[in-house]
A and B are shown apart, each in its own frame.
Chain A
């Protein structure tokens, strides 16, 4: 738990990346909710391949969530502090079982 007081640069990078992607998604989600709440008729507009905005935006939000999650997974940096902590934990776990 002491590791949380002094974040490593890697962890700070991951946190910032997470917050940035979160804001990107939040903006899109808010847009979707606001259109539904205040201009529901717009959702009937045909936008792509004969599909209306409701389906395209809705599916888009789901697919985009998966894409952002994968981007985050690929871009995140390894946290050296965590590696140490994990090794220590593994060592104590082994010690216990003996």
Chain B
């Protein structure tokens, strides 16, 4: 699809950026001490901190990724919403108050509260850095892919812009400004998503049978003719020739009115009949500037073609064409009784020249998009393989355990004054985030039926849904999506800068620094980490956003959670146990991911069947492994200590 730049979006976005940076400089005058920089003096009101939790947590993956996934495949994306929220239950009931009581600035503080061990500070500092960097990459990539369609600027410009703005926010006033940016972003995101859902329900659902052509029904013989219904068939060549034993899937026609390229149709079975139906498809050949759409150059001039927006209902219940306003429940029941057009794709390999991807319509019963198991990643729960089910369990476990182990979430507990305030702000956070996640199912299904989606970029579903309702809403939602990235990235960079300055330099290397020098070092660290994030964001621009977030959750859950939980609830935990558990959890989950089928396919470009790890999500193995490691090491070293103590007293 070709996007029209939205000047209003640029205006709103710039207004937000200047507003927050200005606020940062203003607040920065007061935040000179290390307490101010790392923990906002512990004086953020709990209600503000609660909404800032939402701003911190609802990253590009939540807003763009989940909505896009639901828009493309239905209910499955909502499983992420459920898992992401359930993780907050662990944070509230188990982690929040002890975290606040034990620590001062960083996650390592809390782990190390009883032991004062360099090893713990080192292990926890490194795991904070690793998780933050993996979480940073998808955010930066997301920023780049947003700026491309919105402002018409190249991908790297978006990445650099976010990087620079965030570094400014973090460096000027640390946690104080970061918190207020996140508070603003969290409130805006929830308010405007609600507006969007209300307008969506007001608009109701309509059918669309005119955007794409349908020909037929046709018999087998009709399909063999040189012309079909007055259209001239292009004889199949190269990769378009169907291989022996396979039925021909596509048919291409010479365009009627002298347009460039070809008109392509998917040959679809009609259930309960031998006849076939031709449904219009779309094809993309190659990439970059030489990209061809339906065989013609990409563009809007004559002789060019562009991808048409997709996402519509082909049938409503009772043969209606428009429902009028719907309620929050009738929205689902109506979709359940309708027929939705989803899009599949398949690749045609041409002997010479680049590959062609053909996207074709898949009429799908509405009730199928309201149940789990349509998305390729989740289809395993309807299959036969036990490994696929384990993979699903593993993902849901990692989401459950991951939230309460994310470093940028954990440090937010230090910005309020006491345990009670930590508790109250978590409750506000859960309410805000939970409410937003309820909206994601409406937004996603709304986008699925909006007729405005981009075939090649599901991440744009939520902004495009807004565009189909009101153009100004598109500008607002896009600007918010962009600031979504700002909020999360600033939290992550702050967490990493704390890990470097407070845990690694002071804690491990034993460098003595005054409060102000510590802040200076942390600011330098923030600039360096920000720079690394910019570089990685440019390098990994092809990677799927949601994929890396899942990665960060698995590593966080395996490395941080077991140590934290055992420290709180098992008196025999020793420092050796904690160090071993953090390291084993981190290395095993990372290693597993690097050897998994998902990574083989999307990172190395290798055959996923060669992957060593039996399924993609490590959590179900590596989280228990980290627990066991902690217990074994603690018992072993605990006994040793008892023995030497006994010897000493004898």
Measured CB to CB, the nearest residue on chain B to A20 is B93
Q: Considering the chains assembled together, what is the distance between the CA atoms of A76 and B367 in angstroms?
A: 43
Interface on chain A toward B: helix, strand, loop, or mixed SS? Answer: helix
Q: What are 9 A-B interface contacts by the 8 Å CB criterion? A: A33-B392, A52-B336, A54-B371, A58-B78, A65-B89, A69-B431, A72-B93, A86-B417, A89-B417
Q: Please pick, from A55, A68, A93, the residue contacting B441 in the complex, using a CB distance under 8 A.
A: A55
Instruction: Bits for B421-449, please: 1 = Cβ < 8 Å to A, else 0.
Output: 00110110011001101100100000000
Q: Are B400 and A29 in contact (CB under 8 A)?
A: yes
Residue numbers of B with Cβ under 8 A of A are 41-42, 75, 78-79, 81-82, 85-86, 88-90, 92-94, 97-98, 101-102, 113, 329, 332-333, 336, 367, 370-373, 381-382, 389, 392-393, 396, 400, 417-420, 423-424, 426-427, 430-431, 434-435, 437-438, 441
Q: Considering the chains assembled together, what is the distance between the CA atoms of A44 and B41 in angstroms?
A: 51
- 9 other A-B residue contacts (CB within 8 Å) besides A25-B93, A61-B85: A37-B392, A51-B329, A51-B333, A54-B371, A61-B82, A62-B437, A66-B431, A69-B431, A78-B420
Q: Are A82 and B420 in contact (CB under 8 A)?
A: yes
Q: Are B332 and A62 in contact (CB under 8 A)?
A: no
Residues of B within 8 A of A61 (CB): 82, 85-86
A9 within 8 Å of B (CB atoms): no
Measured CB to CB, the nearest residue on chain B to A74 is B427
B95 to A: closest C-beta gap in Å:
10
Known: A50-B333, A62-B438, A65-B85. A18 touches B78 (CB 8 A): no
Known: A55-B332, A65-B88. A1 touches B113 (CB 8 A): yes
Residues of B within 8 A of A19 (CB): 93-94
Residues of A within 8 A of B82 (CB): 32, 58, 61-62
Q: Please pick, from B89, B371, B423, the residue contacting A68 in the complex, using a CB distance under 8 A.
A: B89
Measured CB to CB, the nearest residue on chain A to B96 is A18
Q: Considering the chains assembled together, what is the distance between the CA atoms of A66 and B434 in angstroms?
A: 7
A92 to B: closest C-beta gap in Å:
11
Residue numbers of A with Cβ under 8 A of B are 1, 3-4, 14, 18-19, 21-22, 25-26, 29, 32-33, 36-38, 40-41, 43-44, 49-52, 54-55, 58-59, 61-63, 65-66, 68-70, 72-73, 76, 78-79, 82, 85-86, 89, 93
The 9 closest A-B pairs by CB, nearest first: A18-B93, A22-B93, A50-B333, A69-B430, A33-B396, A69-B427, A73-B427, A37-B389, A66-B434
Q: Are A25 and B389 in contact (CB under 8 A)?
A: no
A60 to B: closest C-beta gap in Å:
10
B205 to A: closest C-beta gap in Å:
15
Residues of A within 8 A of B81 (CB): 58, 62
Q: Considering the chains assembled together, what is the distance between the CA atoms of A36 and B205 in angstroms?
A: 29
Residues of A within 8 A of B367 (CB): 44, 52
Q: Are A50 and B417 in contact (CB under 8 A)?
A: no
Q: Are A1 and B418 in contact (CB under 8 A)?
A: no
B140 to A: closest C-beta gap in Å:
29
Residues of B within 8 A of A29 (CB): 86, 89, 400
Residues of A within 8 A of B88 (CB): 65, 69
Q: Please pick, from B329, B372, B418, B430, the residue contacting A36 in the complex, using a CB distance under 8 A.
A: B372
A35 to B: closest C-beta gap in Å:
9
Q: Considering the chains assembled together, what is the distance between the CA atoms of A47 and B579 in angstroms?
A: 48
B112 to A: closest C-beta gap in Å:
11
Measured CB to CB, the nearest residue on chain B to A28 is B86
Residues of A within 8 A of B85 (CB): 61-62, 65
Q: Please pick, from A21, A51, A58, A82, the residue contacting B418 in the complex, using a CB distance under 8 A.
A: A82
Residues of A within 8 A of B75 (CB): 54-55, 58
Q: Are A72 and B438 in contact (CB under 8 A)?
A: no
